[in-house]
Amino acid sequence: MTTPVIGVLALQGDVREHLIALATADALARPVRRPEELAEVDGLVIPGGESTTISKLADLFGMREPVRERIAAGMPVYGTCAGMIMLADKILDPRSDQESFGGIDMIVRRNAFGRQNESFESAVEVAGVAGGPVEGVFIRAPWVESVGARVEVLAEHEGHIVAVRQDNALATSFHPELTGDHRLHAYFTDMVRAGR
């Protein structure tokens, strides 16, 4: 079986850490900034960072519509933190010029767990990921307020939804790429293999 090619949207955020995590999960990982680079990947990670900045840069680099189209066509996609916000069909209290890519029938609240100085780490039990809880790093993290009927809730923290999957789209409130535990990247790589 050939190695899946997985892009990391390299507009803003912790791109390098995702590239490393994907490589350890037996994917061929590469940064993606332009539509022609997006056309060459089997799946895409939308990293954490600042969702309003990612939204603006997606327009600046001509990436908004190509990413939306690939997601709508079934390309596997994984969003962490700000990436989760970018995959939400609806954002609570978005900035006026902020638009998501969509792809998951959920409503997300930005910065729900608090400000930067309220960041924390916690063990999170994620359905479908073997080997016990994953260590979640929550940095100005969102949570999911509600999901549609087709969305599978994979994890909760203190009663709030922090990991979801809808078909080929996966999202977590937290940053697994910052922990050295790359099981979620392996889970996503398997999703990409299955989607090819």
CATH at residue 108: 3.40.50.880
Q: How confident is the model at residue 126 (pLDDT cuts 50, 70, 90)?
A: very high
Active site amino acids? 81, 175, 177
Lowest mean pLDDT among 113-117, 122-126, 176-180: 113-117
Give how many domains the chain has, as a whole number. 1
Percent of the chain exceeding pLDDT 90 equals 86
Separation between Cα atoms, residue 158 and residue 136, nearest integer Å: 13
Q: What is the mean pLDDT of the chain?
A: 94
The pLDDT value given to residue 167? 96
Q: How confident is the model at residue 1 (pLDDT cuts 50, 70, 90)?
A: low
Q: Does the structure show a pLDDT above 80 at 76?
A: yes
Q: How confident is the model at residue 66 (pLDDT cuts 50, 70, 90)?
A: very high
DSSP 192: H
Tokens of 49: 């960072």
Spatial contact of 184 and 134, defined as CB atoms under 8 Å apart: yes
Amino acid at 10: A
The pLDDT value given to residue 175? 95
Q: How confident is the model at residue 181 (pLDDT cuts 50, 70, 90)?
A: very high
Domain range for 188: 5-195
Q: Does the structure show a pLDDT above 90 at 108?
A: yes
The pLDDT value given to residue 115? 78
Separation between Cα atoms, residue 175 and residue 35, nearest integer Å: 25
The pLDDT value given to residue 44? 98
Q: Does the structure show a pLDDT above 70 at 133?
A: yes
Q: Does the structure show a pLDDT above 70 at 46?
A: yes
| Across 124-147, average pLDDT | 96
Separation between Cα atoms, residue 4 and residue 7, nearest integer Å: 10
The pLDDT value given to residue 67? 98
